[in-house]
A = this chain, B = another copy of it.
Amino acid sequence: MTDTAQPQFMPRGPYQKTARTRVAILEAALEVFSESGYHSGSIRDVARRAGISNSGLLHHFPDKIALLDAMLERRDEVDAEAMRKFTHDGKSALHALIHLAADNASKPGIVKLYAILSTEATAEDHPAHAHFVSRYARTRHLVEDAFRSLAEDDQLVAGTTPESAAIGTLAMMDGLQVQWLLEPTRIDMPYALASYLSSVTDIDFVAEHSLELSAQLA
C-alpha cells in the first residue's frame, strides 16, 4: 500500500500535494467506474475530472489496473470501518444491514459502482474478479454469524439455515439495488430488506425499523 491511507503522518513537505492529488484521482476514478464500469471507463476521463493530464495520472498509478485496485482498497477501508461498528449480537448486526441499505439510498454513485463492477467482475479474467469473490465470502461469513447467533436462540424460522439466510440476504440486497437504480421512487430498499429479514426470523424488523424512524423525527 502507499501513503494514501495515512496522510496524517506526512502532512508537510512535497508529499502533501501528492496525497491530495491521489485522493482527487481516486475520487474521480470512483465516479467514472461507477458510470461505465472498468472496461468502458477510461483513464483519460478520470484524469480530466481530477483536473490533471493523462500522463500526470499515470505518474501516480502505473497502469489502469493499479488505479482500480487502489480505488477498491480505498472503498474497502470505509466499508470495513462501518462493518466493525455493528458486531454486537446477531439482531443488531441485521439492523445495521437495514441502516446500510437506508444509507445507500442516498449514495447512488457507490451503489452503482458495486452493482456494475460486481457483475463485470464475474468474468474470471477480470482484474477485480478475486477481489469480489473474497469480498462476498467475507460478507457472507459476517451475516452468517449473525444468523447463527439468532438460530441458537431459536429465532430462525423452520427450514432456514444460517447459510441459506446469509446467501438470501446478500442476494436480496444486490437485487434490490438494481431495481432501485432503475426506478428509485418505486423501490424502498430498507423496507424491502427489513421485510425479508422478518420473513426468515421471528423478529419484526419492519416494525422495529419504523419505530426507529419515528424516534428520529422526535
Q: At the interface, yes or no: A136 with Cβ under 8 Å from chain B?
A: yes
Closest to A163 in B: B186
Number of residues from A at the complex interface, CB < 8 A: 46
By beta carbon, the residue of chain B nearest A121 is B182
Q: Does A70 sit within 8 A of B, measured CB to CB?
A: no
**A133 close to chain B: CB less than 8 A:** yes
Q: Is the CB–CB distance between B183 and A136 below 8 Å? A: yes
Distance in angstroms between the alpha carbons of A175 and B115 in the assembled complex: 10
Q: In chain A, residues 99-126, which have Cβ atoms closer than 8 Å to a Cβ of chain B?
A: 112, 115-116, 118-123
Residues of chain B lying within 8 A (CB to CB) of residue A129:
182
Interface string of A19-60 (1 = CB under 8 A from B): 000000000000000011101100000000000000000000
Output the nearest chain B residue to A164 by Cβ-Cβ distance. B195
- The docked-state distance in angstroms from the alpha carbon of A175 to that of B175 is 4
Main secondary structure of the interface of A (DSSP, over half): helix
Does residue A96 face the partner (Cβ distance < 8 Å to B)?
A: no
A72 CB within 8 Å of chain B: no
Interface string of A178-200 (1 = CB under 8 A from B): 11011100010001100110111
Q: Is the CB of A172 closer than 8 A to any CB of chain B?
A: yes
Q: Can you name the residue of chain B whose Cβ is closest to the Cβ of A112?
A: B122
Q: Is the CB of A123 within 8 A of B172?
A: no
Knowing A133-B183, A164-B195, say if A172 contacts B172 (CB, 8 Å): yes
Given A37-B37, A119-B116, A119-B119; A164-B179 close (CB under 8 Å)? no
By beta carbon, the residue of chain B nearest A196 is: B168
Contact with B along A130-167 (1 / 0, CB 8 A): 00110010000000000000000000010110001001
6 sample A-B contacts, Cβ–Cβ < 8 Å, listed by A number: A36-B39, A136-B183, A160-B199, A168-B196, A171-B174, A171-B192
Apart from A112-B122, A116-B122, A170-B179: 8 A-B pairs, beta carbons within 8 A: A35-B123, A37-B37, A118-B178, A119-B119, A159-B206, A171-B171, A171-B179, A199-B200
Closest 4 pairs (CB-CB, A-B) = A171-B175, A175-B175, A174-B175, A39-B40
